[in-house]
Structure 1
Amino acid sequence: MDDVASARSENENGRKIRNRLMQWESKTDPLAALSAQQEEYLDVLSNLWRNEVATPSPATTPTKPTNKESTAPADCTADIKLPAGELNNTNDFLLWFVVVSAEIEERGDANYHKYLQQLEQRKGECAHMLTQIAVAMDRLGALSSEYEFVSTKTSALNTASEQLISEQEKLQELSNEIQWRLHFFNQVELLNQRLQSPTLSVASEAFRECLNKIDECLNYLAENPKFKDAAAYNLKYKQCLAKATGLVRNYVYSVINQATEATLHPRNATGETSLQAPDAAFALYYGKYQTSAAKVKRVAQLIESRLDHSSEYEQLMTDLQQHYLTMRASVMSPAVNQSIQNVKAAHKGDHCSLTRSACSFLVHVCQDEQRLYYQFFETGAAHLTVYLEGLCTILYDTMRPFIIHINHLETLAEICSILRIEMLEEQVQQNPNTLQAFATITHQLLQDVQERLVFRAHLYLQSDIQNYNPSTGDLAYPEKLEMMESIALSLQEPAQLRRSDSRSSMVSSVSSAMETESVDTAYRAQQMNSPADLHGMWYPTVRRTLVCLSRLYRCVDRPIFQGLSQEALKLCIQSVAYAAGKISAAKTPIDGELFEIKHLLILREQIAPFRVDFTIKETSLDFSKVKTAAFGLLHKRKQLFSMGSNNAILEFLIDGTPQIKEHLLDSRKEVDRQLKTTCEQFIKDAVHMLVGPLMTFLEKAQATLAAGPAAQSTLRQCVWSSPQQISGVIQETQRLIKSKLAVLQRAMQLYLSNRDTEFIIFRPIRNNIIQSFVKLEQLLTTNGYSTDDMTITSCPSAEQVSVLLSSASVLAAEGMASFAAAARKISTSSSVETVANRKVSTSSNKAASVQETTAETTQENEVAAKIDATPAGIE
């Protein structure tokens, strides 16, 4: 049963296998799908089988496939043997297939086995080669060890050689350095031999080399003072240097002495007459020295280039320069002194010419001496300056005795100008280095002249200004001015005659009035430049003060001038005030005040160009507290020895110390202050002269009204304040205005001679007069005076007073015209008819003149607004 079952199972399994094998090549659903290569193999196998069946040969060569890819398998299966029997079933095929597959696999790996054999052969060769390489490496290692040994020995040998060479170089350098250092010690004997050689010349190149070696050795020893025997060798080189400097000194002294001897004692001298010509004198005093300059210059340059090396060179250079200057002083001092004495004799009595000539001579001497000096040396300007100062001192010693005896300010001022401007500013500023010594001595001389000038100026201010006693002619005012005015009119007579002839045909009243105004204008124009306004007509102290200040301005220093100007202006103001008082006592206060105003205006105008500050500071001691402290000490006698803080003596010492006060004095402001005071006094006196009765009445009325309210009602009842009395006062005032105003304006024109100044001073007078009438009108209006009383008094309004003043001014102008006509009548008789026609035409057109005067007043008011020179306080 088991066998049957097993057989069945085997059949069943065989059937299943066959079925599955049949399904392997199924085209629809193959169990084992073959690849293209497998299919090719299968085709090959089929072909082989068919061929084998057709021709049953033991073996046949298969056909070479056409596809390149089947080449390898064909090669592999080329020798495959077919089975001995037929393949009857699948099992046989499978068995055969297994055998064939194993054979194919074996044949396919044949190449690999062959390659493997080759690799094994190569492996054997490589192993043999590695064995040889190992042997070679062993030999190479031995060789490398030997090389390293040899290289180490060689490097050590090279290092030792280099060290030996380096030590050799160091020793060589040390030897050279020792030789170089010994060189500075070994030169002593050689230098001594050269310096003691009789053939050695100071101007030679060998001597220059000796000095160079001495300097070099001394410098080296100074830099290395710790060397052995350095001090001893330094002393030896110093001795060599002393010998060299001695040779230079002897040589230069010899050359300079020879030139000096040839100059002082020329061989071809025939007497002093041969030296009078400037060229001959210059050749004598400078020719020999210029010839010797080249010899000394060469040696001097050799020493001057070494001044920084050693003090011996500096001392040598100083000795050479001093010797040269000493020799030149022995030559030039007598010559300069003699020349100054000759100039002094030539300009005897003329100190200005003496100063100018002597200074010019010294300027040339200084320039020539400096030029000659720098032909010998290039340094030593300080020694040269001292020498030139010695020569210039001769001028100082010659001029000083004259200066201290000169009394004239003009001469001293001229000498100051010569020294200050011509010499210091012109000559010295052009050559400041060359003329430094001359400038020093000239400045000293200028200071002496200025000191003498200041001293004489103080004496002059005291004697000729402060103590000046005016003569009768000095105080003859206004006669002196009237005389000069008549002279001025007579000088202008030809021009006036021509104008009179040209105006003789004008007979209308308007033309006559215009003629009168033109005459007045012409008169005023000539008055502004009249001889009465020249400085010759000024009061002597004013003229002297201004002349003195103008002399001092360019001669003394500014602080000194400020002090002198302060004193001079103060004394001048006092002198003018004194003269004004004399004139006021002899004539009228108006004359004295106008005289003072005129000269104060001159002072203010003339000191304006001085560009200095007229302010000086004065220091004084205030002893006012000393007196108070002394009284306190007397009252505290019991506390004299008190030990507390209330000690009387201590308080006296503290509180009684004088106080130091400083005062600023401005002479320019003092002139303005005095001018202001005088103008105010003149305005006051002028107003009182014109409206004196009215001012007296107003002062009396104000005094009465000041007594109380009851007095206001009684003012109308008083006899002196009745309308009739007031009318008399007004009429008297108007009469004074008509009669005195012309005199006042005539005096102002005569003294001031300037229309603008007259207008400035007359304007407050006019305003005060009008203000007086305005006050009177207000007094009458506010103190119970009726309309009838106002009519009786006939008090004019401000406009009427202005017209009255203008008409009076016209009358004054007519008076001036009459005076001019009278002066011309005295000088010539041909102008009488013209003067008469002008008077008639003026009187017939009085109303027109009043209107023109009113217009002129308006014009004057416009002019007054443009004037800036109004003295402070006049208005």
Structure 2
Amino acid sequence: MATANLPKSGAISRGYNFASTWDQNAPLTDEQHAAISALSSAVAERPFPPNLIQDQSTGKDNDSHVLVPTSDSVDDVAAVDAVLVNTHQFYKWFWDLESAMKSETEEKYNLYVNTLVERLQICDGILNQVDDTLNLFDELQMLHQTVATKTKALHDACDRLLLEKQRLIDFAEALRSKLNYFDELENVSTNFYSANMNIGNGQFLPLLKRLDECISYVESNPQYAESAVYLVKFRQLQSRALGMIRSHVLSVLRGASSQVQSAIRDSGSSKNSFSEGVEASVIYVRFKAAASELKPVLEEIESRSSRKEYVQILSECHRLYCEQRLSLIKSIVQHRITEFSRKEALSSLTRSGCAYLMQVCQLEHQLFAHFFRSSSQEDSSLAPLIDPLCTYLYDILRPKLIHEANLDALCELADILKIEVLGEQLNRHCESLTGLRPTLQRILADIHERLTFCARTHIRDQIANYRPTEEDLDYPARLERSTETSSDATVDDNSDIFKTWYPPLEKTVSCLSKLYHCLEPTVFTGLAQEAVEFCSISIQNASKLVAKRSSTMDGQLFLVKHILILREQIAPFDIEFSVTHKELDFSHLLDHLRRILRGQASLFDWSRSSSLARSFSPRVLESQIDARKELEKSLKATCEEFIMSTTKLVVDPMLSFVTKVTAVKHALSSGGQDQKLNSVLAKPLKDQAFATPEKVAELIQKVTVAIQQDLPKVMTKMKLYLQNPSTRMILFKPIKTNIVEAHAQLQSLIKSDYSAEEMESMGMVSLQDLQAQLDSLL
């Protein structure tokens, strides 16, 4: 190729890169690509020259004439006839033709290459100039960068200088602000020690605030030089200022108290009224005028109550206020409560005294809020005033409570304090009456203590140690008289119910019902367990006396009746009647002393577990008593005794007969050695002396008479003692079962050993008829 001999130049690569870049940055459109494709298709196949369009497919080598163009004819585009004799000539002719075609084809490309080479040379010259220009531009850019770097360094230096200047200015200002706190010492000291400085001065409170700021700053920065010295001086000034405040508050309060006392003396009114008349208007309305003078100072103190110095001065102001108020009203309150105690009973005194103190506390709380708005909600603020006033009522009530022995009166007092005063009135005015609560709870605790003592005394004297009279043990006559009386009374009249109760039972139920809502659950539980236990013992002792006086059955039914009533009456009490008793046991000490005396142990042998401390230490024994379970146990045992005694009363002959027959059959089955006895026992049952048909008929007749005569009497007594039909049915059911079982056992024996005629002659009742007869008794 001719291009292989072209000189290598940088313009070619730059041109190619430029063309590639141009092709990427300015791509052809679809229409342009289509036009190029059409042109390429049009010139893809060039037609043969006209002189060559002949038939060349004959293939004859000898006398064929082929028309081939020569080199000259190619240039002139003319056809030349050539005669090809052999293959060599053909190849030569073909080579010449191909060379001519290549020469003709490459001629225009060579021209184009020459043109490009000339233009590349021109471009190389231009590019060399551009390179020189670019080098100059790079040098200029480097110079500009150098200048910019130096300029930025200059700007940075200026900025650093400005920052340093600002830092120094801030440091100077900070140092000046810190020094201001120390410099304020002289200014504040001069003002506080000035002759014109007082609480009413408008500069006092701002100076006090600035003084607090200085103290806070010095306290938080102890690392500064002489900070401790300045702190001491600042605190001295603060103490002087707070002392001025205290003196001012005391002066204003004393002045107000003097004015009120003068007004009361001028009015000449008596001290028999506190909330009405001149005292109310003077003691409260005129005393409020002092609040306007003290309010700015007191509000300032309350706003700084987070600091201990102001907490102390605020507490001191509270104390001064309470002292002045107490000096005004203590004599009036004491006189009024004393009048209550002279004219009213204990319950009325308690109710009136509490209502009076609550009225005083509300008024005092309202007045206190005018002076101390923020701290008026604290319970301890008014304590120096309220506690002495409450003490007057407590001192009046306590001696009366100590001498009060009536349970009803003590229960009424407990209800008054617990329900009316503490439960209703104090909860309704909880904020203003909070100061009364400790004293009222103390009075209530004294009432509970006295009530507990009186209750124990009542249980011991009226229940445990009760001595019944003849009338108390007159059973069943008391029940019969009550039945006759109740037949004439209305259905809702229950006034005679308690008359049939044994007095200790009535006293127990009455005592527990009174104490249930008055005492704490733990205290009531102990008293209830003790009362029920003693009441049960008293009833059991009384049942023995009734049994001796009337009959065993009366004693049993008496015990069942009262234990059922007691169990029913204590059921509503939502407590456990179980109490754990602890006691010290020294029984082991005797054995240990005996061993020491015998020489078996040493008193000073500290190395063993039986040392002196261990040996003489008592043992703690715990025992749990459940009064309700003991009651159930006693009731069960009594019911079983009644059931067995009633069963024996009715069917005792049958039971004896069945027992004898069982013994005879057992002796025969065991095969004894006594031949004579065996011969006697070997007789048929109806031939035995105790089991002849006549004897059996006789015992059946006795049982029938008992069922018809004795058992109805028993049921009558049961109805007399036990009014509840279901209770009687529960108690009668095992009796009926025992009677039926006794008849069943007897019938079984009769059927096996007696004939039908003998059985019929005995008059035995069928079990169905017997059950119907027993059911009719209910």
Q: Is residue 426 from structure 1 mapped to residue 386 from structure 2 by the alignment?
A: no
Counterpart amino acid of residue 395 in structure 2: D
Structure 2 runs not aligned, ≥5 long: 1-50, 57-64, 80-103, 670-677
1:729 to 693, 699, 704: 699
Q: Report the equivalent of 1:579.
A: 542
**Aligned pairs (5 A) from 1:18-37:** 33=69
Superposed CA deviations along residues 222-261 of structure 1, whole A, max 9, x for unmatched, are 2222223322322332233223222322222222222222
The answer to whether the 8 Å contact 2:606/2:612 transfers is no
2:221 to 219, 224, 245: 224
Q: Which secondary structure does the structure 2 equivalent of 1:279 belong to?
A: coil
Aligned mates of 1:578, 1:211 — CA distance in 2: 84
Aligned mates of 1:532, 1:481 — CA distance in 2: 14
Deviation, 1:298, is 2.2
Q: Report the equivalent of 1:244.
A: 241
Aligned mates of 1:334, 1:665 — CA distance in 2: 54
Q: Which secondary structure does the structure 1 equivalent of 2:572 belong to?
A: coil
Deviation, 1:285, is 2.8
The answer to whether the 8 Å contact 2:272/2:332 transfers is no
Deviation, 1:801, is 2.4
2:746 to 768, 772, 776: 776
Q: Which has the larger radius of gyration?
A: 1
Superposed CA deviations along residues 98-136 of structure 1, whole A, max 9, x for unmatched, are xxxxxxx9xx99x999x99x979x979979x989997x9
**Aligned pairs (5 A) from 1:458-469:** 458-469=456-467
2:361 to 355, 363, 366: 366
The answer to whether the 8 Å contact 1:481/1:532 transfers is no
Q: Report the equivalent of 1:546.
A: 509
Superposed CA deviations along residues 24-75 of structure 1, whole A, max 9, x for unmatched, are 99998667526999465669xxxxxxxxxxxxxxxxxxxxxxxxxxxxxxxx
The verdict on how the C-alpha distance between 1:138 and 1:579 changes in structure 2, with shifts beyond 3 A counting, is closer
Q: Is residue 337 from structure 1 mapped to residue 334 from structure 2 by the alignment?
A: yes
The verdict on how the C-alpha distance between 1:579 and 1:168 changes in structure 2, with shifts beyond 3 A counting, is closer
CA RMSD of aligned residues (A): 4.3
**Aligned pairs (5 A) from 1:689-838:** 689-702=649-662, 707=667, 709=669, 710=678, 713=682, 716-781=686-751, 784-806=753-775, 809=777
Q: Is residue 315 from structure 1 mapped to residue 312 from structure 2 by the alignment?
A: yes
Deviation, 1:690, is 2.7
The answer to whether the 8 Å contact 1:531/1:537 transfers is no
Q: Which secondary structure does the structure 2 equivalent of 1:473 belong to?
A: coil
The verdict on how the C-alpha distance between 1:168 and 1:567 changes in structure 2, with shifts beyond 3 A counting, is closer
Q: Report the equivalent of 2:352.
A: 357
Aligned mates of 2:53, 2:188 — CA distance in 1: 135
The verdict on how the C-alpha distance between 1:155 and 1:550 changes in structure 2, with shifts beyond 3 A counting, is closer
Q: Report the equivalent of 2:93.
A: none
Superposed CA deviations along residues 327-348 of structure 1, whole A, max 9, x for unmatched, are 222223323222211211220x
Q: Report the equivalent of 2:299.
A: 301
**Aligned pairs (5 A) from 1:144-223:** 158=155, 161-197=158-194, 199-200=196-197, 202=199, 206-223=203-220
Q: Report the equivalent of 2:480.
A: 482
Structure 1 runs not aligned, ≥5 long: 1-22, 44-104, 493-525, 810-859, 861-875
Aligned mates of 1:410, 1:806 — CA distance in 2: 48
The answer to whether the 8 Å contact 2:274/2:333 transfers is no
Percent identity for Structure 1 against Structure 2:
29
Deviation, 1:370, is 2.5
The answer to whether the 8 Å contact 1:485/1:532 transfers is no
Q: Report the equivalent of 2:90.
A: none
The answer to whether the 8 Å contact 1:533/1:753 transfers is no
2:323 to 322, 326, 331: 326
Q: Which secondary structure does the structure 2 equivalent of 1:381 belong to?
A: coil
Superposed CA deviations along residues 733-763 of structure 1, whole A, max 9, x for unmatched, are 2122212222222212222122222222122
The verdict on how the C-alpha distance between 1:361 and 1:25 changes in structure 2, with shifts beyond 3 A counting, is closer
The answer to whether the 8 Å contact 2:604/2:612 transfers is no
Aligned mates of 2:443, 2:276 — CA distance in 1: 30
The verdict on how the C-alpha distance between 1:38 and 1:411 changes in structure 2, with shifts beyond 3 A counting, is same
The verdict on how the C-alpha distance between 1:409 and 1:707 changes in structure 2, with shifts beyond 3 A counting, is farther
Deviation, 1:146, is 8.5
Aligned mates of 1:646, 1:798 — CA distance in 2: 79
Q: Report the equivalent of 1:676.
A: 636
TM-score normalised by L of structure 1: 0.68
User: More deviation in 657-666 or 30-39?
Assistant: 30-39
Q: Which secondary structure does the structure 2 equivalent of 1:227 belong to?
A: coil
Superposed CA deviations along residues 308-339 of structure 1, whole A, max 9, x for unmatched, are 2x432222112111211222222233232222
Deviation, 1:371, is 2.7
The verdict on how the C-alpha distance between 1:592 and 1:184 changes in structure 2, with shifts beyond 3 A counting, is same
Deviation, 1:796, is 2.7
Deviation, 1:360, is 1.7
The number of equivalent residue pairs is 679
Deviation, 1:415, is 1.0
The verdict on how the C-alpha distance between 1:293 and 1:132 changes in structure 2, with shifts beyond 3 A counting, is closer
Deviation, 1:400, is 0.7
Counterpart amino acid of residue 307 in structure 1: S
User: More deviation in 470-479 or 689-698?
Assistant: 689-698
1:537 to 495, 500, 521: 500
TM-score normalised by L of structure 2: 0.76
2:569 to 606, 609, 613: 606
**Aligned pairs (5 A) from 1:619-638:** 619-620=582-583, 633=595, 637=598
Q: Which secondary structure does the structure 1 equivalent of 2:276 belong to?
A: helix
Superposed CA deviations along residues 536-555 of structure 1, whole A, max 9, x for unmatched, are 33221111110011111111
